[in-house]
Chains A and B, each alone.
Chain A
Amino acid sequence: MTINHHLRDESLLRYAAGTLAAAPAIVAKAHLATCPACRARVAEYEAVGGALLEAMEPTAMSPSALADVLSRIDAAPSAPMAEHAREPAEIEGVPLPDALRGCEIGRWRWIGPGMKMSRVGVPHDRDANLILLKVGPGRALPDHGHVGTEFTYIVKGSYTDALGQFRPGDVAEVDDDTEHQPIVDADEECICLAALEGKMRFNGFIGRMLQPIFGI
């Protein structure tokens, strides 16, 4: 998989620092699984975190803190097993990135001609704005601007906008106030995973239909 569109340094830093919101972090995780270059940067930013930790002024712990932890270790020396046997994520037979394991993925819902959407439920953050979009060949993605950055990961198919062509594994980070108009390439439908930090405002007919779904 050749990756042409990457996450921005700021977002990789926030991912490494653990301060990226849940929905964009899932999109970032999907991209990281396909992109060694971005993984290497995340590792570097984690090392920045390590260096900052090492440079911290110590704050005294309570006198019993070590004994408390040791007695907890005695009570349960190993961690309870995490449920590893989670089903691989998929939507109606189409495999989805591992970053979506454990999320609630519903059925496709019709939202306009040649366009379907499935809202993704993130178990650890009910307010997360995360959706899957499926758009037919040659069609435009919903025309929208948004508040905050939008993160889009291409699962299947491809689209093209002013920034170029986006293919599976690529990720698009589009800022607020950018009106962008991705058009799905003619050969096949495109499935993408989109996360928002802020709220989305839609333009045009389909946009107005989508607004209530996002609860704006």
Chain B
Amino acid sequence: MHEASREYSAKAERLLSARGRLGVVNAAGNGSTMPSSQELSQLIEAVASRHDREAFAALFRHFGPRLKTFFMRGGMSAGIAEDLVQETMLSVWRKASYFDRSRAGAATWVFTVARNLRIDHLRRQRNPADLPADPEETPPSIEDAFLDAERDVRVRRALTGLTPEQQTIIRLSYYSEKSQTEIASDLGIPLGTVKSRVRLAMNRLRILLEDET
């Protein structure tokens, strides 16, 4: 990577974390500062290398309330969301040694853990008699060594380049397991429009991500 773009990424990261701090102050009103992506990575590594409970508590304080919102946006009740947050954080503790900051940022890794647990949860709901799915059977996490953690910064920047409408359709694709037909009826627009919006949003995101490389 060129020196210039590395510098730009670092600048973007500072800007993003500054914005994040403001967001946390506003939302939680307790004035606590938001850890940077690097600090979060260090916390996960501390859990992995020395079972550091303080580090785990800090991760819990940061990700717990966000994960709860994430699950609730997917249509879960506060109680179920809270259970899944606990499951997710338990997995974060147990799987911390699999975290590799050169492959994924801390939030991305926690997202994949939460996503896999949500898949298991929804499947158990549909097939109550089944045993919990083997976690290894859910989609693989980031495994490719050629990928790098810079991606997180690029992706965050790319997302801000989407229109609000496009951001909405992408968010809907992440939070809920609703089909495009259900999303169409929720938004009161034809299925064809949902399809073309997703396609346009994905193309736009694709272009923004490619511009970044």
Contacts and interface: CB of A to CB of B under 8 A. Distances in A.
A52 B171 contact: yes
Interface string B80-116: 0110011001110111000000011111111110111
A162 interface: no
Nearest to B198: A10
Contacts of A47: 104-105, 108, 151-152, 154-155
A14 interface: yes
Contact of A15 (B56, B78, B93, B139): B139
B187 interface: no
Interface in B133-179: 133-144, 146-147, 151-152, 154-156, 159, 170-171, 173-174, 176-179
B interface majority secondary structure: helix
A66 interface: yes
A171 to B, nearest CB: 15
Contacts of A50: 104-111, 152, 155
A72 B147 CA distance: 34
Interface in A41-72: 42-44, 46-62, 65-66, 68-70, 72
Give the most central of A57, A60, A70, A102: most B CB within 10 Å: A57
B43 interface: no
Interface string A145-159: 000000000000000
B53 interface: yes
A36 B143 CA distance: 10
A61 B64 contact: yes
A68 B86 contact: yes
B147 A79 contact: no
A124 B105 CA distance: 29
A77 B159 CA distance: 37
A40 B95 contact: no
The size bracket of the interface on B is 35 or more
Contacts of A73: 90, 93
A53 B70 contact: yes
Given A32-B140, A39-B144, A53 B110 contact: yes
A11 to B, nearest CB: 10
B152 A19 contact: no
A72 B86 contact: yes
Contact of A18 (B95, B119, B206): B119
B6 interface: no
A25 interface: yes
A197 B78 CA distance: 30
B155 A54 contact: no
Interface in B45-71: 51, 53, 56-57, 60-61, 63-70
Contacts of A25: 139
B1 interface: no
B147 A43 contact: yes
10 contacts: A29-B139, A39-B144, A44-B155, A52-B171, A53-B110, A56-B73, A57-B69, A72-B86, A77-B51, A126-B127
Given A10-B199, A56-B73, 15 more contacts: A9-B202, A14-B173, A15-B139, A17-B115, A25-B139, A46-B108, A50-B105, A52-B171, A54-B156, A59-B68, A69-B60, A69-B90, A79-B94, A124-B130, A125-B127
